[in-house]
Amino acid sequence: MEPSDAEALWRWNHDPAVMRWMSDGYAQPLSQVKKRLEERPRNAYGEVLYGVEVLTDAKLIGVVRLRDAEPETGIAELDIYIGEKEYWGRGYGTDAMRTMCRYGFDKMRLHKITLTVVIENIAAHRVYQKIGFVDEGRLRQEFRRDGKWYDMFTMGLLEGELR
């Protein structure tokens, strides 16, 4: 991710449909998003962040990240979202997840990748299951949106389970 990607990130982070099932924190001005990208440390074992692009025209459409990786445990947490809504449901998220999980297992030598998903986010849950993630637990009333509390699934994918 480059500082030139700041405008896309800012736009996605201010789109209620994109952020519906994600923790969005506090709104930041475009200048702060750009500064954060300028100051962001290089990818390293503890956190790798990549933009999701369409190969035909190199258009940035989303973000995928492995974070909180620790070599002692071989576990990292995965975050992903496709911010350009016209690309939803077209397989880009699935492809990006598979690619990032392969990278985590092959290059980072991870043993397990975890994630959490709001139970009502049925489309994302289906994608995660499709590539091999398994429901490992239910976090009760873990996510709040529009004054209502929602449960989340915690999911895991072990090395060798990627489909």
Write out the catalytic residue numbers.
128
Torsion of CA 58, 92, 103, 163, to 10 degrees: -150
Helix (H, G, I), strand (E, B) or coil at 73: coil
Tokens coding 158: 């072990």
Tokens coding 151: 């449960």
* Cβ density class 81-119: b for 16+ within 10 Å, e for less: bbbbeebeeeebbeebbbebbeebbeebebebbebbbbb
Question: Length of the chain in residues, anyone?
Answer: 163
Helix (H, G, I), strand (E, B) or coil at 147: coil
Report d(CA 14, CA 26) in Å as an integer: 10
Quote the DSSP letter at residue 97.
H
